[in-house]
Amino acid sequence: MPSPSDLGPPPQLGYVDSRLERAAELRGDDAAMRSFSAHPGAGAYVIGGELVVMKNQGERGEPLFAPDAARALGAVRESVFLGLADGAPRFGFALDPQAVEALKPRTDLKITDLRSIAVQGLVEASHLPPLAEAKALLGWHARHRFCPNCGAPTQSVSAGWRRDCPVCKAQHFPRTDPVVIMLAIAGERCVLGRSPRFAPTMWSCLAGFAEPGETLEEAVRREVREEVGIACGRVKYFASQPWPFPSSIMIGCHAEALDDKIVVDREELEDARWFDREELVAMLERRHPEGLTTPPPIAIAHHIIRKFVEDGADVIR
Ligand SMILES: [Zn+2]
């Protein structure tokens, strides 16, 4: 079997390793927020629905605007404080998605979705975590304008980190939805599946939302059993990744498969089958004879698969 060095240094996972100091203790400090808005180094990320607005710099885009320049792009519907980058305040501004669509013809701007930005490396990597933070938080605001308790319109407070209901006084906090994403392993083999939404050659880890009242380990075992009919024993946590589509955190695990026979849930998956480590190496290195691939390195699935290729069944010991 290949040694770990065969795959070279690990590629960068997307949306992780934020350099921002979130400075949560200052969110309720109106005077601090006013001074941050006027700070000469202040910068804002501009988002409309799924789209991110960037300055066009040829191959790449620059997603950080001076606040005044960001406001000149359109009416800011929501503003959130993301944190401090070496002491310089960073904000997320939401424009109406239609307003951002209308900016698309401008050649001085580059406008695309955050997945494409990460996959194609369109921005300097340090921008990806704050963009993910801004997109998830602004998306939460867009979907929580009314109180789930009494139906009254809610108001953004605490620099965008809470919405308060003026009628029933309920406080609502931004949510992050846990998704377990896992690789079921037996010896030299593991199970990958294909969603009908995937590119035709791509195979990936199984995944699903953790449900109320279950542990992450239980969620892993349930999802694998539901999707491919395989019972799992040991579950080992590997790593996690913010996934702002719209507001998830991906919790990556390896799991010990106890059965051999795959029974595919065709409602969820187009197909699923066993892959051995040698075939996975070919997929990771993009030289599989049938052109099969893993997800790109920005996605945690790539790293979960790669870890199994490197360490084999030791990943669940
Ligand atoms: Zn209410």
pLDDT in tens, the chain (317 residues): 555 437 888 888 999 999 999 999 999 999 999 999 999 999 999 999 999 999 999 999 999 999 999 999 999 999 999 999 999 999 999 999 999 999 999 999 999 999 999 999 999 999 999 999 999 999 999 999 999 999 999 999 999 999 999 999 999 999 999 999 999 999 999 999 999 999 999 999 999 999 999 999 999 999 999 999 999 999 999 999 999 999 999 999 999 999 999 999 999 999 999 999 999 999 999 999 999 999 999 999 999 999 999 999 999 99
- For ligand 1, the distance from its centroid to the CA atom of residue 170, given in whole angstroms, is 5
What integer pLDDT is reported at residue 178 of this predicted model? 98
- For ligand 1, the distance from its centroid to the CA atom of residue 137, given in whole angstroms, is 20
- For ligand 1, the distance from its centroid to the CA atom of residue 172, given in whole angstroms, is 9
- For ligand 1, the distance from its centroid to the CA atom of residue 103, given in whole angstroms, is 36
What integer pLDDT is reported at residue 8 of this predicted model? 82
- For ligand 1, the distance from its centroid to the CA atom of residue 131, given in whole angstroms, is 30
- For ligand 1, the distance from its centroid to the CA atom of residue 147, given in whole angstroms, is 5
**DSSP for the chain, written as a single string:** ---GGGG-SPPPPTT-S---B--GGGTT-HHHHHHHHT-TT-EEEEEETTEEEEEEETTEEE-EE-HHHHHTTS---EEEEEEEETTEEEEEEEPPHHHHHHHTT-TTEEEEEHHHHHHTT-S-GGGHHHHHHHHHHHHHHHH-SB-TTT-PBPEEEGGGTEEE-TTT--EE----EEEEEEEEEETTEEEEEE-TTS-TTB-B-EEEEPPTT--HHHHHHHHHHHHH---EEEEEEEEEEEETTTTEEEEEEEEEE--------TTT-SEEEEEEHHHHHHHHTT--TT--BPPPTTSHHHHHHHHHHHHGGGGG-
What integer pLDDT is reported at residue 4 of this predicted model? 45
- For ligand 1, the distance from its centroid to the CA atom of residue 162, given in whole angstroms, is 13
- For ligand 1, the distance from its centroid to the CA atom of residue 156, given in whole angstroms, is 13
What integer pLDDT is reported at residue 278 of this predicted model? 95
- For ligand 1, the distance from its centroid to the CA atom of residue 173, given in whole angstroms, is 13
- For ligand 1, the distance from its centroid to the CA atom of residue 146, given in whole angstroms, is 8
- For ligand 1, the distance from its centroid to the CA atom of residue 154, given in whole angstroms, is 7
- For ligand 1, the distance from its centroid to the CA atom of residue 159, given in whole angstroms, is 20
- For ligand 1, the distance from its centroid to the CA atom of residue 142, given in whole angstroms, is 17
